[in-house]
């Protein structure tokens, strides 16, 4: 006698193993990618912070170098210095009234009337102060005389240039003989502004330094009284 077959008691296979495995692979890939990106970002931040510290220390070195410059004996030529100050300023202990300080910042020495500073406006580029960033030819004295091509300076590029009649900022060690800093994109430099209010004669020093990347730049200022009446 023919008997109809009984239905199987087993559960039918749904075929879900492959999608589950693929989903796990996708999650693992995403987590791995995020981990690599996080590690790369952390390394970049650490490198940027290190470069900033290099630029900051280079700037501080330029500030100290400017103070040494202001203490120089005018008749002395420092060992390893590329240039001598000569008669740029009077001897120590005398009143400062040297014509070597003017608006062109010869050899890093700037002097403007106080009324000039009172009317300075960065937004409208009115009466640009010498330490302003050099955005165009009308601003800043970092790259030489803005009325002409930038003045080559001692220590620029290869360090063999011995032009000592430049306008604008002073590269590190030009007058003091301090050793150049290794591992920076450009040597730190400084400007000295002569500020006189009645009998109070003060120098404002502005320095800027760079890290290994030329785009990492730090600017600092300090005030200094080198001369006593």
Q: What predicted TM-score, i.e. pTM, was given to this entire model?
A: 0.72
Which pair of structure tokens corresponds to residue 83? 């240039």
Q: Which of 111, 174, 177 is nearest to 141 (CA)?
A: 111
- CA distances for 165 relative to 53, 120, 144, angstroms: 32, 28, 11
- Mean pLDDT, residues 29-45 taken together: 75
pLDDT in tens, 81-120: 888 887 777 555 455 545 578 888 888 999 888 888 888 8
pLDDT in tens, 40-78: 776 666 788 889 999 999 999 999 999 999 888 766 678
Rounded Cα gap, residues 2 and 22, in angstroms: 47
pLDDT at 28: 83
Look at residue 146 and tell me whether its pLDDT is greater than 60: no
pLDDT at 158: 44
Count of CB atoms situated within 10 Å of the CB of 54: 21
The percentage of residues in the chain with a pLDDT greater than 90, rounded to a whole number, is 19
Q: Is 183 left (phi over 0), alpha (psi -120 to 50) or beta?
A: left
Rounded Cα gap, residues 90 and 73, in angstroms: 9
Rounded Cα gap, residues 126 and 226, in angstroms: 30
Beta strands, E only, the chain? 109-110, 170-171, 189-197, 200-210, 217-224
Q: Which of 167 and 204 is assigned the larger pLDDT?
A: 204
| Least confident among 28-32, 41-45, 184-188 | 41-45
Mention every residue, 6+ apart, whose C-beta is less than 8 A from residue 227.
90, 92, 93, 94, 95, 96, 201
Mention every residue, 6+ apart, whose C-beta is less than 8 A from residue 222.
63, 204, 205
């Amino acid at each position: 006698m023919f008997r109809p077959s009984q239905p199987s008691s087993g559960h039918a296979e749904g075929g879900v193993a492959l999608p589950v495995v693929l989903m796990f692979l996708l999650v693992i890939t995403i987590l791995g990618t995020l981990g690599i990106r996080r590690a790369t970002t952390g390394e970049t931040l650490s490198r940027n912070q290190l470069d900033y510290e290099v630029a900051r220390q280079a700037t501080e070195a330029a500030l100290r170098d400017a103070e040494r410059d202001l203490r120089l004996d005018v008749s002395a030529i420092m060992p390893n210095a590329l240039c001598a100050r000569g008669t740029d300023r009077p001897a120590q202990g005398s009143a400062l009234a040297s014509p070597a300080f003017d608006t062109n910042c010869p050899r890093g020495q700037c002097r403007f009337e106080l009324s000039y500073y009172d009317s300075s406006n960065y937004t409208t580029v009115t009466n640009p102060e010498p330490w302003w960033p050099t955005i165009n030819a009308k601003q800043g004295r970092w790259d030489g005389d803005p009325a002409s091509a930038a003045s080559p300076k001692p220590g620029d590029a290869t360090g063999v240039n011995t032009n000592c009649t430049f306008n604008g900022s002073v590269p590190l060690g030009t007058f003091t003989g301090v050793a150049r800093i290794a591992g920076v994109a450009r040597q730190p430099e400084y400007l000295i502004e002569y500020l006189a209010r009645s009998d109070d004669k003060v120098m404002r020093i502005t320095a800027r330094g760079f890290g290994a990347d030329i785009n990492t730049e730090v600017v600092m200022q300090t005030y200094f009284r080198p001369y006593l009446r």
